[in-house]
Chain A
């Protein structure tokens, strides 16, 4: 039994933590919250220079040639410090989609740029408040031209390429394809949008006859998108685990230093049991995330089920820790000055970024039905 990360992977994690502890404190994150930028360029550049962005990109395309497990340990550290960087858009989603479904020339063109951070990539699927699906995606791709509107798109304002879920006219689930578009080309306009978490910039992108090309096979877009989503769900689960632990520790530290009615509030069971529940949810999430990591790394066929379990557990752990951390803090936790808001905002952003927990629960049970466990 060796259900743990290797020493090398733990070293990578420590290295990431050291870098982020120095450069990405909550004071840095606050500057993004209160400023105009949608990300922290210095932190992002540092992560790219250290090779972290390219960690799982093959060496032939300018990366370090490591795998999903290395991305998992990095993700946990990014989540812990609520990093305001486009890592998930560019690496978990765009780079992974290119790796899995890109043509040789698409990979040669874009992966080296994503590895160094010369270009940021993103995946654009949502078109408003209807969750994306073969029935709701209206953005269309025909004759090499893309038309439609995507909102919200993570890192829209700083991305050089987008992988767009678009309708190519097939029937049912075959209606959709993945389309690669150069956002600096013709027919692309974008604007920044206001969201619940300004530390991760989002925008709206409008395509009007924008030149684009298929990524992967026509009509396979929905399957391919869900496959990329499943891998990203594991990585985001590690971000959520990191975030949940940080939010729990914030609540715990406050419960130790705050006195009320003549004693530490952490000595009241109403408070300490709440924090114990954060710990229980966190450990359930961590264990499910570990299995998700293993399923992702081994590609053994149960990634969808493992990813759904990891995402559901981690979403719940982070939701609870972030929300109840404010409650433990009391009034001060509801102020702009308090740091509780970073986790409250980020936990909800991550909970929705790949679709809601209900959607993943439905996906999970669909897998159980297929696997014939009963």
Chain B
């Protein structure tokens, strides 16, 4: 047992590190890891595009993609090594993850050669940004219950309806969308999948104001939006099959939670004086600290087990599916506990007044959403119990019924 690279991995790591050192600035270890960025989005996007183009030129923007798509044709472990090294540098990111992690892989699997020649490279170089249009007001966990309509009209399709929770729709150039083309077929059978130009007439993007007051997602409204049939991915009525390609990539793209963890709680406990004495000497505080340490380490070493499988060229086991089930509630509970420790002052959220620039308060807000995004705690438990443990699916009352005969409640 060891954490060492193989000689080939070490060589790749050295190459990557040398390239990063020549092209990026190392992170300042003293800078707080949590807190809100106050730079305007447009500025961040502009610098992210510059960095993305540089990365793509060097081949590091899509390490596992085949070379004909501008990738490096490398292995998963090389991709992980790059991310590990990049995390030590101050680089802008976050704008291309959904496009390159989910949309473009779906295109590569289903679009024509000519379409891929047109779209893959500009996405890779950060010139064009993609979004994913799946969730709807009445289709969250049950995403196949979506209602956005697509009707054939000559060589085009006409799309009407509404999508929601679309990250980045306001700055995206293209999107992938699942629609209902046949409401008389059972739920999963009547779907058709397209990619479309986000600047098409009839598309309206409105920001969603989240519980925190921030806006990171959008609602997207479609009114008679025309999409050529040539932009259909997969057969008519086979959209669910295409969507599964995207969703398979989702859990890889969403990744694990970051933010304040046991180290910040330990720091807080050391500086907090309770009625009974220093918080760090309080048995309840110590129990909680230990529990969260154990969860954090458990996830870290679970990841190491996954990396070991990748390093040996094997498919990782199902253990990697536990990540978000553990980190979501931990993120929320730890933040809440840290706020409790601060007593009445725990309600302060202003950067100046609050402890550690309100890192705990911000995470407490975010934690509630993190447990829902990209698969709720409950859906993830279904996945573990059905796909890992082989337990039966819930009885499905919607399986063989025409979609337009299904009862619908809140829309």
B53 within 8 A of A: no
Q: Within 8 Å CB of A358, what residues of B?
A: 283, 287
Question: Given contacts A362-B283, A369-B280, are A272 and B4 in contact (CB under 8 A)?
Answer: no
Quick check: A294 and B302 within 8 Å, CB to CB?
no
Question: Given contacts A279-B322, A312-B294, are A3 and B304 in contact (CB under 8 A)?
Answer: yes
Quick check: A313 and B294 within 8 Å, CB to CB?
yes
Q: Which residue of A lies closest to B302 (CB)?
A: A287
Q: How far is it, in angstroms, between the C-alpha of A302 and the C-alpha of B236 when the chains are bound?
A: 59
Q: How far is it, in angstroms, between the C-alpha of A267 and the C-alpha of B263 when the chains are bound?
A: 40
Quick check: A1 and B287 within 8 Å, CB to CB?
no
A260 within 8 A of B: no
Tell me the smallest distance from the CB of B296 to a CB of chain A, in Å: 10
Q: Within 8 Å CB of B299, what residues of A?
A: 284, 287
Quick check: B311 and A2 within 8 Å, CB to CB?
yes
A26 within 8 A of B: no
- The residue that A364 contacts in the complex, of B280, B293, B325, B393, with Cβ under 8 A, is B293
Question: Given contacts A255-B391, A365-B289, are A280 and B308 in contact (CB under 8 A)?
Answer: no
Chain B, range 261-313, C-beta contacts under 8 Å to A: 262-264, 266-267, 270, 280, 283, 286-287, 289-291, 293-295, 297-302, 304-305, 307-308, 311
Tell me the smallest distance from the CB of B267 to a CB of chain A, in Å: 4
Question: Given contacts A267-B392, A364-B290, are A287 and B384 in contact (CB under 8 A)?
Answer: no
Quick check: B311 and A256 within 8 Å, CB to CB?
no
Question: Given contacts A3-B301, A266-B392, A279-B389, are A374 and B287 in contact (CB under 8 A)?
Answer: no
- The residue that A276 contacts in the complex, of B286, B297, B308, B384, with Cβ under 8 A, is B384
Q: Within 8 Å CB of A283, what residues of B?
A: 298, 302, 319, 322
Quick check: A267 and B393 within 8 Å, CB to CB?
yes
Question: Given contacts A280-B326, A290-B1, are A256 and B391 in contact (CB under 8 A)?
Answer: yes
**Can you list, as one digit per residue, whether each of B178-194 has a CB less than 8 Å from chain A (1) or not (0)?**
00000000000000000
Chain A, range 326-374, C-beta contacts under 8 Å to B: 358, 360-362, 364-365, 368-369, 373-374
Quick check: A373 and B266 within 8 Å, CB to CB?
yes
B216 within 8 A of A: no
Quick check: B308 and A2 within 8 Å, CB to CB?
yes
A215 within 8 A of B: no
Quick check: B304 and A287 within 8 Å, CB to CB?
yes
Q: How many A-B residue pairs have CB under 8 A?
A: 163
**Can you list, as one digit per residue, whether each of A166-186 has a CB less than 8 Å from chain B (1) or not (0)?**
000000000000000000000
- The residue that A280 contacts in the complex, of B4, B270, B325, with Cβ under 8 A, is B325
Q: Within 8 Å CB of A269, what residues of B?
A: 378, 381-382, 394
**Can you list, as one digit per residue, whether each of A260-277 has a CB less than 8 Å from chain B (1) or not (0)?**
000110111101110111
Quick check: B302 and A284 within 8 Å, CB to CB?
yes
Q: Within 8 Å CB of A266, what residues of B?
A: 385, 391-392
A88 within 8 A of B: no
Q: Within 8 Å CB of A361, what residues of B?
A: 286-287, 289-291
Chain B, range 1-16, C-beta contacts under 8 Å to A: 1-5, 9
Question: Given contacts A1-B304, A2-B2, A374-B266, are A288 and B391 in contact (CB under 8 A)?
Answer: no
Quick check: A280 and B290 within 8 Å, CB to CB?
no
**Can you list, as one digit per residue, whether each of B239-265 has a CB less than 8 Å from chain A (1) or not (0)?**
000000000000000000000001110
Tell me the smallest distance from the CB of B202 to a CB of chain A, in Å: 40
Quick check: A275 and B389 within 8 Å, CB to CB?
yes
Question: Given contacts A279-B388, A368-B266, are A272 and B381 in contact (CB under 8 A)?
Answer: yes
Quick check: A284 and B326 within 8 Å, CB to CB?
yes
A4 within 8 A of B: yes
Quick check: B301 and A280 within 8 Å, CB to CB?
no
Tell me the smallest distance from the CB of A27 to a CB of chain B, in Å: 26
**Can you list, as one digit per residue, whether each of A1-37 has a CB less than 8 Å from chain B (1) or not (0)?**
1111110000000000000000000000000000000
A291 within 8 A of B: yes
Q: How far is it, in angstroms, between the C-alpha of A275 and the C-alpha of B378 when the chains are bound?
A: 13
Quick check: B311 and A374 within 8 Å, CB to CB?
no
Quick check: A297 and B391 within 8 Å, CB to CB?
no
Quick check: B286 and A4 within 8 Å, CB to CB?
no
Q: Which residue of A lies closest to B80 (CB)?
A: A1
Quick check: A290 and B305 within 8 Å, CB to CB?
yes
Quick check: A1 and B1 within 8 Å, CB to CB?
no
- The residue that B297 contacts in the complex, of A280, A291, A360, A374, with Cβ under 8 A, is A291
25 chain-A/chain-B pairs, Cβ below 8 angstroms: A1-B308, A2-B1, A2-B2, A2-B4, A2-B308, A3-B3, A3-B305, A3-B308, A267-B393, A273-B381, A275-B385, A275-B389, A276-B388, A287-B297, A287-B299, A288-B294, A290-B301, A309-B293, A309-B294, A361-B287, A361-B289, A364-B294, A368-B262, A368-B289, A369-B280
A residues lining the B interface (CB < 8 Å)? 1-6, 69, 252, 255-256, 263-264, 266-269, 271-273, 275-277, 279-280, 283-288, 290-291, 293-294, 297, 308-309, 312-313, 358, 360-362, 364-365, 368-369, 373-374
